[in-house]
Amino acid sequence: MGRYVIEVMYDGTKFHGSQIQGDTPTVQLALNQTLQTLLRTPIPTVGASRTDEGVHALSNFYHFDLDIEPRADFVYKCNAILPDGIAVKQLLCAADPEFNTRFQAVRRQYRYRIYHYKNPFLVNQALFFPYKLDFDILRQTAEIIKEYEKFESFSKRNAQTKTYNCAIHQSEWQVVGEELHYLVTANRFLRGMVRGLVATQIHIARGKGTLNDFRKIIEARDCTKAFFNVAGHGLYLEHIVYPDGTFI
């Protein structure tokens, strides 16, 4: 029995989130159905990072077990079966038969994209936000985030987590062409956390609060104090890092 891992990318607007929810079209359901069709037996998968409806992924990982070695054309055949909104990038074999894509990831990176001028080619690919933002304030809020490790204020209610601690490695705003991007990297993220960080920073950068107010929101450890009102389709799970030697 071998533990295998597939790296996938997907357009989040084509699915109702990544995690399986019965017969609701999700990323995980599409993967499970594809593997079952290809291998002619039910193949349950476990995902590295849960993404909400509309959220895209340039890289996410799912592990599963097989008692046979996959054929060389495994990735090609998976992509031939999968719907258009998702693609398998590669197949990997875990060195540890107990490897878990979720719990053994050491770093995750997200990017939130905003554009200010109407562009039909960016619909559902970034957030259209035609309002003035103070970029200097955004830079300062991004720096403030790195000072903290408790982020309960940016976790949606009913999150199944034992701790709200996150180690933020990178938090910054970037001007990329005509877009504004928020890039954040951490060891883990809470449910809805990146959208909460983005929406709350935007609230402050529009002059609706001060930097001290931003600190108070973080320190309150109360999700009713933060804002989450930015669309999922502006958010991308970009990168997941595992320890060296994880894959054969």
Q: Which residues are catalytic?
A: 52
Question: 54: alpha, beta or left, given left = phi > 0 and alpha = psi -120 to 50?
Answer: left
Rounded Cα distance between 236 and 225, Å, is: 24
Measured in whole angstroms, the distance separating CA 131 from the mean position of its chain's CA atoms is 25
Q: Cα–Cα distance between 89 and 68 in angstroms, integer?
A: 21
Host H or E run for residue 58: strand 56-66
How far apart are the C-alpha atoms of 227 and 201, rounded to whole Å? 9
Amino acid at 139: R
Q: Please say whether the dihedral angle defined by the alpha carbons of residues 30, 32, 35 and 36, taken in this order, is positive or negative.
A: negative
**Dihedral over alpha carbons 19, 167, 137, 57 (to 10 degrees):** -30
* 55 closest CA partner among 119, 93, 11, 20: 11
How far is the C-alpha of 139 from the C-alpha of 136, rounded, in Å?
A: 5
Alpha-carbon distances of 234 from 7, 18, 74, 112, rounded to whole Å: 21, 16, 31, 5
CB of 46 within 8 A of CB of 63? yes
